Amino acid sequence: MATQAAVRQCQEKFGLPVTGKTDRTFWDLLCQRSNVPRSQQPPVSQGRRAASKKANLVALKREKVRPLNVQPNKKGQDAFLQRIEHLRCEQVRQTSPFVPTARVSQLIATAKRYIGVPYVYGGTTPKGFDCSGFVQYVFKENKFELPRTADEQYLLGLKEPVSSLREGDLVFFATDGTGISHCGIYLGHGRFIHASSSHGIRIDELSNVYWRKYFVTGKHIVK
């Protein structure tokens, strides 16, 4: 009875339900206050551990606690940039250019017609485009069949630096650092039109600090 009374007294002091019985919550709190080594704490069953974990998640949701936005360390950032540099230097399948120069002005006019259309993941229509869906749609409107995804479109044409690109060529980026994940249509003078995930169809500069960082290469498809 004396032990039960002591437990009740501790529970009341710690703000726990006063039951007079010990449980895991009571033991954890007691250990924290008395600095008992974890190795000396009683074993916890899988069922109790899962219940405790669930209770903690419920408490976090109730308090609306958000995880910290952890930024990658310098080592991780260096590895990321090294992967992009590897993509810039790698050999990729080459195909002959297939878009006649005389068709380029109409192709670009088609692309600009959709400026302002929102970005939609998986979108392939003027109701909403993703990057490769936009490129595919514009070329299809001009009677050219392109693959659906950016990494497949990357296999078309001849790999060229920006200085050698022509209007109507394609440009590719590795925004996730692991492979080709974004594409657009080159407009000349360092500009390209694409489906931005934050702004929809728009024109941007390759010299922009963001796009310059992730740019991999251009593919020359205009003959």
Residue 154, amino acid: Y
In this structure, what token pair is assigned to residue 54? Answer: 């669930």
Q: Are 216 and 158 in contact (CB under 8 A)?
A: no
Q: Which of 182, 183, 189, 220 is catalytic?
A: 182
Is residue 194 among the annotated active site residues?
yes
In this structure, what token pair is assigned to residue 25? Answer: 């919550």
* 146 contact partners, CB below 8 Å, separation of at least 6: 135, 136, 139, 140, 153, 156
DSSP per-residue codes, 203-214: EEETTSHHHHHH
d(CA 66, CA 70): 12
99 CA to centre of own chain: 32
In this structure, what token pair is assigned to residue 55? Answer: 């209770």
Q: Which of 10, 189, 194, 220 is catalytic?
A: 194
Q: Is 65 helix (H, G, I), strand (E, B) or coil?
A: coil
Alpha-carbon torsion 192, 194, 198, 202, what sign? positive
The candidate with the shortest Cα–Cα distance to 88, out of 182, 160, 165, is: 160
d(CA 17, CA 209): 57
Q: Which of 86, 131, 183, 220 is catalytic?
A: 131
DSSP lists the bridge partners of residue 171 as: 184, 218
Catalytic residue numbers read 131, 182, 194
